[in-house]
Amino acid sequence: MNKICPRCRTVYSYSIGQCPNECTLKMKRESNRLYDREQRKNKEFYSSKEWRELRKVCKERFAGLCLWSLYKHNRIKKGRITHHIVPLSENKSKGLLLSNLVYLSDEAHREIHKLYETNQIQTIKEIKKFIKIWEIEHGRGV
Ligand SMILES: [Zn+2]
Ligand SMILES: [Zn+2]
């Protein structure tokens, strides 16, 4: 069985485990850099108690799963990052709104930020659509 690397599109055998071009490591580094940049820009916000609490609520809302992987790629994957659907840099007043948050894996987070650069409205729409589906399937009326 073969796998395709999502980063460089190299086809490699499942038995190797990961892309021979070390893309797993590179992707992790890239997404960390991106996340760090976001965090650094809004240091005060990201270290606030309100944010840390809300992050937990968001993770629980999506059962710790990456929503984008689940509905966009049909893959069950653990999330790691709480992402602002409308970025903090654009609208600070939505920073602490649960409805503006989604739980994502590193990979999906990177993908979404890239998408957002090319089509903001479509990206927001798609995430909101996935949240709606999640709510229908798993919601407890949040
Ligand atoms: Zn690769
Ligand atoms: Zn983000």
Q: Where are the domains of the chain?
A: 1-29, 42-138
Ligand 2: centre distance to CA 14 (Å): 30
C-alpha–C-alpha distance, residues 120 and 85, integer Å: 10
**pLDDT band at 141, cuts 50/70/90?**
low
How high is the pLDDT of residue 59? 98
Q: How far is the CA of 5 from the centre of ligand 1 (A)?
A: 5
Residue 27 has pLDDT above 90, yes or no: no
Residue pair 84/94 in contact by the 8 Å Cβ criterion: yes
Dist. CA 90 → ligand 1 center (Å): 33
* CA 127 to centroid of ligand 2, rounded, Å: 12
Å from CA of 48 to ligand 2 middle = 17
Q: Tell me: pLDDT of 126 over 90.
A: yes
Q: Please state, as a whole number, how many other Cβ atoms lie within 10 Å of the Cβ of residue 35.
A: 18
φ, ψ (nearest 5 deg) of residue 15: -65, -25
Question: How much is the pLDDT for 6?
Answer: 86
Q: Which residues surround ligand 2, an ion (CB under 5 A)?
A: 83
Q: Across all residues in the chain, what is the average pLDDT?
A: 92
CA–centroid distance, 62 to ligand 1, in Å, is: 29
**67-96 confidence digits (pLDDT tens):** 999 999 999 999 999 999 999 989 999 999
Distance 136 CA to ligand 2 centre (A): 24
> Residue 58: which residues within 8 A CB-CB, separation 6 or more?
82, 98, 101, 102, 103
pTM of the full predicted structure?
A: 0.76
Confidence of residue 128 (pLDDT cuts 50, 70, 90): very high
The more confidently predicted of residues 36 and 112 is 112
Q: Which ligand is nearest to the CA of 12?
A: 1
29-71: pLDDT as tens digits? 877 777 777 778 888 999 999 999 999 999 999 999 999 999 9
Read off the pLDDT band of 140 (50, 70, 90).
Answer: low
Q: Strand, helix or coil at 104?
A: strand
